[in-house]
Structure 1
């Protein structure tokens, strides 16, 4: 997802939502620990373990978005945006670990079922957990639309998984407490584990795409090209390359210009093209190389066999 806010506003929004995320994780741990002590429910235990890892993951995101916001320096000329992808990778590992732990505990309880006590308290805690998590996911979604932050998207991914998991836990606790079906409680914990494992796979793919500099989708590329070709003085676009460094969209391309114009005139055309792109993608990092139309030979290093055909009029 591409940021729609300015970098400064985006960094501020990311800081706010990650602070809220840490606070929510601490709150959920506290109330679930109380519910576990009162009920002894394995599905509550599963949910508590997940929330504990949520806190670790949220802390990694808390620091990652602040690290990613550090301006480029001599050693990191493209900035520090990849810190968000690293945090996303850490989150995926933690979710995997949580899934394994919960699955093991659930299987143990299936073999040796234990009755659930204080079921009313446990059900109440899970209802509160679902409501609080739903509110956080909604706020995270708003932030992602504005900033495009990969780290916040990862944070939202595991909290969104928590929503479904908490519903399963609620069903399991209610079944064990009010229907006397302790085995359903353990089964609910196992469903939570599978849910988390599946979510972690998606998170791994997202972080790998980012770290491997996967280009943006075709629709985004088309919008970039359309913004550039809005000027009739530009005859075509080729060697368009894109990648994301955190929420920052990196764009490089060559454009075809009339060969007889002055360097100053060509520079003016390029600067105007950059301005049009920035209107569509605020905060993008843009590099445009002008080529004389009809007189260009291959140059600029390896451009890759997968590069689409040049865009031209």
Structure 2
């Protein structure tokens, strides 16, 4: 169905462009003949203008044909830019003609030339206005229907001809009035004899103005400049779609009748693949309503929406790594995010193996959660639960010294480091890392941490959470590996 519609559009654009070529040939011919017979610079300037319209119409016909060719390996976005290039070419031709018209007009203002304003002068200009009005309406209607800048440029050419022809007619009327005013009213009106040249300057002024507008628009498209109103309209419409958190990036570029839109959207991290796909389909549909002929590419990025989503994200990453976590706490201090949690590991696994799995899990957390700077995990056998207490108020230095002092009493635990105190107003907690024998099982290492935690709680009975992250003592493990066989 889409292919059939494209073929219909292509045929209609070609038909309109070809009819413009034929009309331009007709108007150029009659203006040249009458202009030479009457010696009217105004009509000759109009003939030159129509000649450019003829060239422009030919270029438009060629551009419309090429722009509708399908994309290929070298032109993966299609050939739509050909229309924009043709519009720029037409603009340059118009400006070049204006230079010649202004030069001739100034020359005739200095040295007047006799111009015959007869019936044929008025007839050809009236005919030109009728034809230009008809063609400009048809071209503009088709240009808007199919978003064709080449046809729009052609329509502007014919519409400017209406105004410029009207200016020339006014100049011819002035030439007819001059002898009558001198003979009947005795009024000397030398400037009326120069009305034809003045009319030519008026024509050039109109053409320059229209050329500037068309050229500016064409260059913007060639440089991929996006219309601010269009971008704003798309962004507002997409943001209002359910499931879209924010529009992170939006780019819009036009190529002939086609508009290419690509955007990056942020959706909740908890959204499923199917939900994200439905969001992207709704976005494409919405953009299509704003820009009918558009090619839309949507990239979805999952983001953590709030604290609850953050905890769910941690659990989902743990599940993907085959782990279970509980007691998840997030601390955001001065924009620095840190996490602490208990990670459940099978009791028979060695602490070295457990630490390797947890380290992989922590790396995945760092990759998935933006801004995460610190992670403290407590490894424990599957099924253990955390104990929660009320808050206390202690100095960091005091807790630091107590932890180091008590750790020395537990045989098998050494090198306690990264001791940190967290308080949320309702509960205070302490987290730290320590080394244990790499050959211990998770159950054995956990038993050591229970003994140390018990000693800490005996000294600090009101302390809330105690998170002890165990790490294998790699130095000790290396020494064992290097022991020679007997």
- Structure 2 length-normalised TM: 0.56
Could you say what secondary structure the match of 1:179 adopts? helix
Q: What is residue 295 of structure 2 aligned with on the other side?
A: 285
Pairing partner for 1:274 from 272, 284, 305: 284
Q: Is the 8 A contact 2:117 2:175 kept in 1?
A: no
Comparing 50-59 and 175-184, the one that deviates more: 175-184
Q: Is the 8 A contact 1:38 1:118 kept in 2?
A: no
Q: Is the 8 A contact 1:98 1:196 kept in 2?
A: no
Count of aligned pairs between the two proteins: 292
Q: What is residue 69 of structure 1 aligned with on the other side?
A: 68
Pairing partner for 2:268 from 231, 251, 258: 258
For 1:246 and 1:238, locate their aligned partners in 2 and report how far apart those are by CA, in whole Å: 27
Q: Is the 8 A contact 2:288 2:294 kept in 1?
A: yes
Alpha carbons of structure 1 residues 290 and 123: separation in structure 2 relative to 1, 3 Å: same
How do residues 52-63 of structure 1 correspond to structure 2 at under 5 angstroms?
A: 52-63=51-62
For 1:90 and 1:296, locate their aligned partners in 2 and report how far apart those are by CA, in whole Å: 52
How do residues 1-313 of structure 1 correspond to structure 2 at under 5 angstroms?
A: 7-117=6-116, 119-180=118-179, 181-218=192-229, 220-229=230-239, 231-294=241-304
Cα shift at 1:275: 2.7
For 1:283 and 1:203, locate their aligned partners in 2 and report how far apart those are by CA, in whole Å: 21
Q: Which runs of 5+ in 1 are unaligned?
A: 1-5, 299-313
**Highest relative contact order (Cα 8 Å, sep 6+), 1 or 2?**
1
Could you say what secondary structure the match of 2:124 adopts? helix
For 1:81 and 1:227, locate their aligned partners in 2 and report how far apart those are by CA, in whole Å: 26
1:69-113 deviation per Cα after TM superposition (whole angstroms, max 9, x unaligned): 111111111111111111111011100111011111212222332
Give the root-mean-square deviation of aligned CA atoms. Answer: 2.2
More strand by share: 2
1:146-195 deviation per Cα after TM superposition (whole angstroms, max 9, x unaligned): 12211122222222222211111111122224534431111111221222
Q: Is the 8 A contact 2:95 2:207 kept in 1?
A: yes
For 1:94 and 1:131, locate their aligned partners in 2 and report how far apart those are by CA, in whole Å: 24
Q: Which runs of 5+ in 2 are unaligned?
A: 180-191, 305-367, 372-486
Structure with max Cα Rg: 2
Could you say what secondary structure the match of 1:160 adopts? helix
